[in-house]
Chain A
Amino acid sequence: MPGLSTSVPRVRSLEPSAPRVGFRELRQVWFQITGTLCNLSCRHCFNASGPRDPWLARLDADTVRRYIAEAETLGVREFYFTGGEPFLHPEILPLLGDALAVAPTTVLTNGTLIDEPTADRLARIADDAPYSLEIRVSLDAATAVENDAVRGRGTFAKALAAVRRLAARDLYPIVTATEIAAPATGPSLYERLRTTLLEARVTRPRIKILPVLPIGRCHGRGNARRITSDDLEGFDPARLQCTEARAVAAGGVYACPILAGLPGARLATDRLADALGPTALYHPVCFTCYETGIACRNF
C-alpha cells in the first residue's frame, strides 16, 4: 500500500477472474474521512495509516455532505466515519451532526484525541440529534503492556480515559479490539476486556471483537487464499458486507471499508448510485470476511 498514489486516476475494471456477488441494497455508507492520516501507527493497521505520507487523501467536507444527501435518497440505514483517525479532520464534529440529521452515525476512533471539551461537544451533538451517535474506541488488549506493544506507548491509558469520559456522558462507547494480541489460553479477549473495563469503573461496557485482516501492515499474514466460485456454492452472499455497504474515500466509491482506496475495489468515481452493482471478491481479505463472517458494522 505504501507508494500508492493519493489520487486514483480511473475506475479499473473488476478483477476478471474473481467471483462476484450481487448487491442487495444500500444499508451502510462508510466515509474514509481522513484517508490514512492517523496520529498512531499500529502494527496491525489494515490500511497502514500513520502520521506521515498518507497514501490515501482525506475527504473534504462538501464531498461528504454531497454523499450524505445522496445516501438519504437511497434509503440508507446508517453512516460510519473512519480513517485514519477521524478526529484529525478539521470538520469532523459538524460532519457528524450533518450525518446524524439523516441517519444513525458511528465514528471509529483510537480515542487519544477525545479530551474533556471534545467529549462535551460529542455529548451535545448526540443530544441534539434525532438518531443515535455511536462511538467506537479501539483497544487491542486488556492491559497497557499488551495493548501498547501493538498500538504505541501510552495509547492504552489515553483510550481508556476516553472510554470513561464518554461513558460518563451516557455515550457508552463500543470498545473494538482485533485479535492481534488475543490470549491463546485462559479467559477470552472479550472477557478480559470486560473485566478491565468494569475494574476501571466503566459502566455498561460494550465490546466488539474483530479478526486480524491480512492487509495493510498485516499483508501476507496467514495464507493468501482467495475466494473461488466453488466457495460460493450454497453460501448465502448476504453474509458479506459488500452486498449491503459501500465506502466513500478519495477517488470515489469502493466495495467495502476494508478495501477503501484500493483501485481494484473502486466501483464509481462520484456517485453512490453508480456503485450499487456486483463486487469482485478478489482480495485475500474477502476470504477473511467469507470465513469468519465478520461485519464492520456495529451489530
Chain B
Amino acid sequence: MQELLRARRVALLGGVYSNYLALAAALTDARARGAEQIFCLGDLGGFGPHPDRVFPLLQDAGVVCVQGNYDLAVAQGAADCGCGYSDPRDNHFARISYEYTVRNTSAPYRRWLGALPPALKFALGDRQVLLCHGSPRQVNEFLWESTTPNGLLERFCRETESEVLCFTHTGIKWHRALPSGRHAVNVGALGRPENDGTPRVWYTLLSAGHEPSVEFVPVAYDHEALAREMARERLPGEFVETIRSGWWTCCLESMPVRERARGRH
C-alpha cells in the first residue's frame, strides 16, 4: 500500500472512460474549489473516444491515479476489459469498447497504466483514507449502494485500517456513514452520466473536519462535442445516446434491481 500525503481537501475522480472534455472541466472546477490534491480512482479508458487524450491532462494537473480493471487490462493486452460482466449483451458492448480503446492507446501510456498502484492511502486531517477502484479485495467488484452491506464495509475498513473508504467502478455515486463512524464513498464517474436523465457527470470533494465532509459535484461540459466525436469514431450509437440523454443504454444487466428501476432502460 502506497501512502502519500496529508491534506484537508481533495478531489476524487471516478472512471474517466476517455471523456477528456469532462476531465478538463472537472480539473478546472476542483482547483477553483480549493482541492489541494486530485486523485483518480482508475478506468481511464473505455466507452469514449481518443483514449490518449486523457493522459496529458492528468499528468499536467499532477493527478495521482489508482489502477482500475480497464487500466490493468489495457496495459497487459488482456483478452477483455475485466469489467466483471456476466450477461451476453453487456459483454457485447464491453468488447467493442475495449477493442477500440486498446487499438487507440499508445505504448508509452500503456506502460504508464501498468505502473499504477492498485490502492493508495492518505491522511485527511487525522483520518486515514483508502482509495481503490472496485473494492479493497477485488479490482472489479461492484459496490452498488443497494448491494453493499454495512458489515462488509466495516470489515473492509478494519482490514485496511481506514476510516474513509473510497471506490468507483459502478459509475454511480453514493455515500454512507457507517454505524462505527467510518465512511464509505462511491465517488461516481466522470466518463458518463449516471443514469439520471441529464448529461452532467460527477466527481467528489472530500474535506477534513470533525466529521469528514463528502460533497458530490456535478460537472457540465460540452457533451454534444463528445457525442459527435464518438459518432465520428464509429463507437456504438448506444454509447452516444447515453452521453446525450443521460440514460444508460447498455451495461445494465449487472445492475441491481433498485438502481435499475431508477433508469429508463
Contact = CB atoms under 8 A, between A and B. Distances in A.
> Are both chains from one complex?
yes
A204 B260 contact: yes
A299 B90 CA distance: 11
B151 interface: yes
B149 A103 contact: yes
Interface string B194-231: 00000000000000000000000000000000000000
The secondary structure that dominates the A interface is: loop
Contacts of B142: 299
A102 interface: yes
A76 B261 CA distance: 25
Interface stretch (B7-15, B47-55, B115-123, B250-258): B250-258
Most buried by B among A25, A75, A103, A207: A75
Interface string A113-140: 0000000000000100001111000000
A25 B149 CA distance: 15
A186 B253 CA distance: 23
B154 interface: yes
Contacts of A170: 257, 261
B232 interface: no
Contact of B149 (A104, A208, A295): A104
A75 B256 contact: no
B152 interface: yes
Contacts of B260: 172, 204, 206
Interface string B30-74: 000000000000000000000000000000000000000000000
Looking at chain A, what size class is its interface with the partner chain? 20 to 34
Contacts of A207: 87
A104 B151 contact: no
B137 A25 contact: yes
Contact of B147 (A78, A126, A190, A206): A78
Give 7 nearest A-B pairs by CB, closest first: A75-B155, A103-B149, A132-B146, A104-B147, A132-B256, A170-B261, A132-B258
Interface of B: 84, 86-88, 137, 142, 144, 146-149, 151-152, 154-155, 252-254, 256-261, 265
Given A78-B149, A132-B256, A295-B86, 18 more contacts: A75-B152, A75-B154, A76-B151, A77-B148, A77-B149, A78-B147, A103-B152, A104-B146, A131-B146, A131-B149, A132-B144, A132-B146, A132-B147, A170-B261, A172-B261, A206-B253, A208-B87, A299-B84
